[in-house]
Amino acid sequence: MSKRPRTLDAFFAPPLTKKARVGSEQQHERDGTGVPPGDRGATTALVSAHPTYPFAIPHLPQEVADILNFAPAAEGRSINDQPDLDLVYYQPYIPKDIHRDLFELLRRELFFYRVKYMIKRGPLETQINTPRFTTVFGLDDTSRFDPEGRIVDATSGKPVMKDAYKCKPRPIPECLDLLRTLTENATGCKFNFALVNYYASGNDSISFHSDDERFLGIEPAIASFTLGAKRDFLLKHKPTPAGHVSETKAMKLPLASGDMILMKGLTQSKWLHSIPKRKGGEAYKGRINITFRRAMIRGGTENYYHYNVGDGEVYKWDESRREMHPWPNG
């Protein structure tokens, strides 16, 4: 078994390194993390905790972490046979022995939001209800978390001004950060954000868009993981200027649990992608999408927390109801 690589636990608050009795009322009250009693009895586990977390998030079980160290499970296949397209497709990236366990753990233990926000269309403002559950972790390149969990300047290490961020950034929990570290090692790309979407059924979707915001820099690399239900991933080239001939074809990739798509080069500036609504099939089982990205400036941090957290209530998976449900203390 390969040795588990070092993660970024040093940048988390102290509770990350202490043993916490998950499911223990006494530990729950002492930590003030809001960890609801679970069904794991007296099982002892490490947790990720931070003042910005509504409740603590368990680390990966050791057996899952050990197998994850063997990722990628398959060699990536380059897809660059169309103009401006630069993809690497892993089928799968996460070993088959653990992708279901990882899906269940993240759905059960992460906190999510159903974000609503306003956009302006001409003179009118319209409220948008995000058609999926979202959550986000991370901080842009200008800052970092110190060992006490405080935000400090990335270069000087001095605390940033209290009003430097309008949002409340939070560090990436260990259960996602290990995958981030391994993905960096495998791809040679650097990431400082983890965005997580939960598609509860075939009615949850994301429309055609590109992740081409300026705060991501030139030709950004984005690693996109699928866990749970298989869903179609559609791509189409952006409209080209009049008179410009571009021989491109729309694409459909059936992303299965454990698969990963690395989008890089001109892909974001020239192509659009989406997860459309689907009836039938296995979409009703639920799908988690994890994307790792790198925000260069503070505007990226503000954007990601605004559109993936907002001011909405906290949701947590309810095993008895088999659905996301508002967290009682949210």
DSSP string of 43-59?
A: -EEEEE--TT-SS-EEP
Nearest of 293, 67, 103 to residue 200 by alpha carbon: 103
Cα dihedral value 106, 111, 114, 117, nearest 10: -120
Model pLDDT, residue 25: 30
Q: Where are the beta strands (DSSP E) in the chain?
A: 19-21, 44-48, 57-58, 77-79, 87-90, 116-121, 124-129, 133-138, 143-145, 151-153, 193-199, 206-209, 222-228, 231-237, 251-255, 260-263, 271-275, 287-293, 315-318, 323-326
Architecture of domain 72-326: Sandwich (2.60)
- CB contact at 8 A, 216 and 294: yes
| Cis? peptide before 72, omega within 30° of 0 | yes
pLDDT at 246: 65
Query: 249: alpha, beta or left, given left = phi > 0 and alpha = psi -120 to 50?
Result: beta
pLDDT in the model for residue 44: 53
Q: Which of 308, 292, 87, 89 is closest to 179 using CA atoms?
A: 292
Q: What is the pLDDT of residue 124?
A: 79
Q: Residue 119: what pLDDT? A: 74
Half-sphere exposure of residue 130: CA atoms within 13 angstroms, side-chain side? 21
Distance, in Å, from the CA atom of 145 to the CA atom of 140, rounded to the nearest integer, reads 11
* Whole-number Cα distances in Å, 291 to 13, 124, 208, 211: 24, 32, 16, 11
Identify the pLDDT of residue 242.
63
The residue with tokens 């899952």 is 64
Beta bridge partners of 318: 323
Contact yes or no for 186/221 (Cβ under 8 A): no
CA 329 to CA 36: how far, in whole Å?
10
Q: Collect the ranges in the chain with pLDDT lower than 70.
A: 1-44, 242-246, 330
